[in-house]
């Protein structure tokens, strides 16, 4: 019995990052997008982000600091859940509406596809969630439509990082009512950060609210590009 408990504990510790993401990401996504999708019946968008740190851990404190630096005065931090629940949709607090409108993309443990599943299999499953025919023929047509048909028989774990990001974002955008996309840790797959960053920007230009959660090294690379572009103007 002790051996089983020890093995379980070691497995938990080894996968602690995934466990933390599983527990942290869904409420974090709700927090970050509550105000964005807190528009009333008039269709107005409140661009203030309301943040309530219920966990109060070093990890959530770091996220709070990063969000504060990025959006400045548009971040309103509240200390209790009642204040947070005033972020409403059509006059009432509605977490389910946030979940319908925001897609969590490639989050470890939570929404990432199994690495050994073929791209066709991943597409077929997402087509089913989006209300389309979930068969290989429909998947093949969809892949051809987005120019990724060459990946059909490739295991998703072997897909080049930028192509993986485009594939999964396109699939998430298929779902009805999705208006926001949260792309989680694309840099964990390697590749050039600017490649997936440009893809994320494309989706923002298509009208989606896009949030990318990535590491400091990726942010440094992207910030350097922004500074170069700004200097060239």
Average pLDDT over residues 107-130: 92
At 57, phi and psi to the nearest 5? -110, 165
Fold topology of 94-233: Rossmann fold (3.40.50)
Give dist(CA 123, CA 155) in Å, integer: 12
Q: What is the pLDDT of residue 141?
A: 95
Question: Hey, what are 172's tokens?
Answer: 């998430």
At 228, phi and psi to the nearest 5? -65, -45
* Domain boundaries of the chain, sorted by first residue: 1-93, 94-233
pLDDT at residue 38 tops 60: no
- The residue count of the chain comes to 233
Q: Kindly provide the residue ranges of all beta strands, DSSP E only, lying in the chain, ordered along the sequence.
A: 49-51, 75-77, 102-105, 180-184, 209-213
Mean confidence (pLDDT) of the chain: 79
pTM: predicted TM-score of the whole model, two decimal places: 0.65
pLDDT tens-digit series, residues 164-184: 999 999 999 998 889 899 999
pLDDT tens-digit series, residues 46-66: 556 777 777 777 777 777 777
Q: How many CB atoms lie within 10 A of CB 108?
A: 17
């Amino acid at each position: 019995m002790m051996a089983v408990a020890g093995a379980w504990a070691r497995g938990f510790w080894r996968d602690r990052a995934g466990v933390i993401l599983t527990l942290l990401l869904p409420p974090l996504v709700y927090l970050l997008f509550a105000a964005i999708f807190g528009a009333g019946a008039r269709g107005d968008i409140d661009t203030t982000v309301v943040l309530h740190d219920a966990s109060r851990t070093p990890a959530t404190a770091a996220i709070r600091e990063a969000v504060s630096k990025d959006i400045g005065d548009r971040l309103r931090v509240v200390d209790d859940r009642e204040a947070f629940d005033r972020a409403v949709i059509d006059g009432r607090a509605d977490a389910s509406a946030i979940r319908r409108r925001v897609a969590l993309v490639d989050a470890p443990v939570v929404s990432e596809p199994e690495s050994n599943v073929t791209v066709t299999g991943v597409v077929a499953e997402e087509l089913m969630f989006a209300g389309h025919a979930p068969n290989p023929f429909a998947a093949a047509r969809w892949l051809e439509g987005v120019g990724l048909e060459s990946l059909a028989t490739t295991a998703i774990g072997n897909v080049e990082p930028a192509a993986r990001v485009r594939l999964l974002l396109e699939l998430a955008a298929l779902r009805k009512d999705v208006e926001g996309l949260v792309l989680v840790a694309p840099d964990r797959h390697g590749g050039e950060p600017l490649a997936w960053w440009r893809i994320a920007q494309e989706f923002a230009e298509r009208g989606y609210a896009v949030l990318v959660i990535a590491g400091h090294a990726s942010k440094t690379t992207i910030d350097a590009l922004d500074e170069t572009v700004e200097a060239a103007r």
